[in-house]
Amino acid sequence: MAQRLDYLKETPSQTAGPYVHIGLAPGAAGFDIYAQELGWDIAGPHAAGERIRVEGLVTDGTGSPVKDVLIEVWQANAAGHYAHPEDPGGTEEGFRGWGRVITDFDTGEWGFDTVKPGPVMGRGGRLMAPHLNLWIVARGINIGLNTRLYFDDEADANAADPVLGLIEWESRRDTLIARREIRDGAPVYRFDIRLQGADETVFFDI
Amino acid sequence: MKTPAEYYQRDRQWHAPALTPEYKTSVSRAPSFPLLSLEQSASEITGPSFRNDDINPGDNDLLHNYATAGESAIGERIILHGRVLDENARPVPHVLVEIWQANAGGRYRHRKDGYLAPIDANFGGCGRTLTDDQGYYVFHTVKPGAYPWRNWVNSWRPAHVHFSVFGTSFSQRLITQCYFEGDPLIARCPIVQTLKDPAAVDQLTAALDMNATIPLDSIAYRFDIVLRGRRATYFENRPEGG
């Protein structure tokens, strides 16, 4: 017998279940309890950069909308910096870079407003294309799914992105690209997430 | 070029797999392609942080945080407490812990829950707090009831409290469920049993903690939470292909 290592094991994940809103977005569950709910304002009023909206639908392996999903967003600001003590770049006052997104329970459609992030310095000094980090939980998902949203108007940066480049099947890279349109003069990106099937979104083990 | 210290890889054989047919809802929601393993960058190593002014001091008292003044929730009064640690056994201070649960009758306050057990007018069913300097947290609540759900015709969830925990990194983000020592439904629950290692189930089972019980007031259960640990030092990357 060798010596015992004294690391602890990570607490195992369990599904967020259908009532995740009670804990993380009680207003959506149907009641008002906290003085302020968290995660509804990602960028704050002072953030520089282009104001954008992101919308989408999560579908399952049968193509049906997943109406009880909750998504968390983590992103850099327009200068490519995260609101985190280890990022020396700093961010604008009120910029948290983090948000919670819930669906319309009838349709499963979701959307949120933020600023478009800038490129972020990646491993080995290689710049990563602008992207949002997403974490998806729902009933039937045993451990939260991590993915990234990239932007279709950043084709050159996307082509050089080290993470997109890791995806061996080039056809699957498109599952991480949001499509830009202009609606009432404002940019809206569409990003549908497919949990399962031929056109399944690429998910990461981070 | 230096990369910040990374977090230990997740042990995917310790966690449940995505596809767990006994838990039927997972079948159409489990990715069929393997996850793409990603070496961490700033996008994974950083993560949101929370401050005292994000929450209110009473948010961790579910007995009273939705109750009419002078009243409180109905049920077995419990203290649910513990520490948030990392895999290196170090406390994780000042991180957000959020919980939600059914009331003592097994009914959730949610527009989508139609179980016949009644809503408790004095119980919302959610709470939140920040861990202290030592990674410690405490909630005052009632022990939730078991309730039926549609998996098999006769499926019952063991009493459980949902936990959502942040670390200092988005890669540590965790949602899990806390069960209670001695509950015979634990072994029969297809959601619990998505975990293949009995030790993993034990880690989700809060222990009766008589030392923390408040006599003539509340029974205590202890539930420690472990988030991913982190390498101690920065390191030099090899160039790609090097």
- B112 or B241, which is more confident? B112
Judged by a CB distance cut-off of 8 A, whether residue B56 touches chain A is: yes
Contact between B101 and B63 (Cβ < 8 Å): no
Predicted confidence at residue A171, as pLDDT, reads 95
Each residue's pLDDT tens digit, A21-76: 999 999 999 999 999 999 999 999 999 999 999 999 999 999 999 999 999 999 99
Judging contacts by C-beta atoms under 8 Å, the chain A residues touching residue B50 are 38
Contact B174, B165 (CB under 8 A): yes
- The stretches of B72-184 forming alpha helices (DSSP H) are none
Nearest to A22 among B23, B89, B108 (CB): B108
List of chain B residues whose C-beta atoms are within 8 Å of the C-beta of residue A134: none
Question: Is a pLDDT exceeding 70 seen at residue B178?
Answer: yes
As a residue count, chain A comes to 206
Domain A46-194 adopts which CATH fold? Answer: Protocatechuate 3,4-Dioxygenase, subunit A (2.60.130)
Closest CA to B103 of B126, B81, B82: B126
Residues of B in contact with A93 (CB under 8 A): none
* Greatest pairwise CA separation for chain A in angstroms: 69
| B209 within a domain of the structure (yes/no) | yes
> Is B238's pLDDT higher than 70?
no
Domain count, chain B: 1
Residues of chain B positioned with their CB less than 8 A from the CB of A167: 36
A190 sits in which H/E element: strand A186-190
Q: Is the pLDDT of residue B1 over 90?
A: no
Across the range B106-126, mean pLDDT stands at: 96
Structure tokens at A161: 């992105």
**What proportion of chain A, given as a percentage, has pLDDT over 90?**
98
Q: What's the domain range around B193?
A: 42-227
B125 located within any domain: yes
Cβ of B33 within 8 Å of Cβ of A200? The answer is yes
**Residue B242, in any domain of the structure:** no
What 8-state DSSP symbol labels residue A17? Answer: -
pLDDT digits (tens, 9 = 90+) for B145-169: 999 999 999 999 999 999 999 999 9
pLDDT tens for residues A129-173?
999 999 999 999 999 999 999 999 999 999 999 999 999 999 999
Nearest CA-CA distance, residue B118 and chain A, Å: 16
For range B44-61, the mean pLDDT: 97
Q: Which residues contact A2 (CB under 8 A, 6 or more apart)?
A: none
Distance from the Cα of A180 to chain B's closest Cα (Å) equals 23
List, as one string, the DSSP characters of B56-85. -GGGGBTTTTTSPTT----S-EEEEEEEEE
Instruction: Find the CATH number of the domain harbouring B215.
Output: 2.60.130.10
Residue B200 lies in a domain: yes
What residues pair up with A74 in beta bridges, in sequence order? A98, A133
> Is B21 part of the contact surface with chain A (CB cutoff 8 Å)?
no
Residue B110 appears among annotated catalytic residues: no
Specify the pLDDT at position B241: 47
Report residue B90 CA to chain centroid gap.
18
Task: Give domain status of residue B46, yes or no.
Answer: yes
Lowest mean pLDDT segment, chosen from B9-23, B176-190, B196-210, B225-239:
B225-239
Residue A163 forms contact with B (CB below 8 Å): yes
- Measure the CA angle with vertex B12, ends A164 and B85; round to 5°: 105
Instruction: Say if CB B219 and CB B213 are below 8 A apart.
Output: yes
ipTM above threshold 0.90: yes
Chain B contact for A32 (CB, 8 A cutoff): no
Active site residue B136: no
B13 touches chain A (CB under 8 A): no
Rounded to a whole number of angstroms, the distance from the CA of A182 to the nearest CA of chain B is 28
**Chain A 173-192, CB below 8 Å of chain B: which residues?**
none
Q: Which residue of B has its CA nearest to A18?
A: B112
Cα-flanking dihedrals φ and ψ of residue A81, to 5°? -115, 145
A171 touches chain B (CB under 8 A): no
| Residue B140 is a catalytic residue | no
The reply to whether A143 touches chain B by the CB within 8 Å rule is yes
Q: Would you say residue B236 lies in a domain?
A: no
Which entry of B23, B137, B147, B179 is annotated as an active-site residue?
B147
Q: What is the pLDDT of residue B237?
A: 52
Beta carbon pairs, A and B, within 8 Å:
265
pLDDT above 60: residue A102? yes
Query: Model pTM?
Result: 0.97
B12 domain-assigned: no
- What pLDDT score does B95 carry? 98
Among B10, B26, B27, B29, the strongest candidate for a mutation testing the A interface, having the largest count of A CBs within 10 A, is B29
Q: What is the pLDDT of residue A37?
A: 96
Residue B239's pLDDT is 52
B71: in domain = yes
Which residues of chain A are within 8 Å of residue B229 when distances are taken between CB atoms? 7-8
Please give the torsion angle defined by the CA atoms of residues B42, B48, B52 and B56, in that order, rounded to the nearest 10 degrees. -170
Note the pLDDT of residue A130: 98
Active site residue B221: no
The pLDDT, as a whole number, for residue A116 is 98
Chain-chain contact of A38 with B54 (C-beta, under 8 angstroms): yes
Q: What is the C-alpha separation between B73 and B104, in angstroms, rounded?
A: 9
Whole-number Å distance between alpha carbons of A101 and A40: 8
The pLDDT assigned to B131 comes to 98
Going through chain B in order, the beta strands assigned E by DSSP cover 2-3, 36-37, 77-86, 96-101, 126-130, 136-142, 147-149, 155-157, 160-165, 174-180, 205-208, 219-222, 225-227, 235-236
Residues 68-107 of B with CB under 8 A from A: 85-89, 96, 98-101
- Among B36, B107, B193, most A C-beta atoms within 10 A, so best to mutate, is B36
**Residues B184-211, mean pLDDT to the nearest whole number:** 98
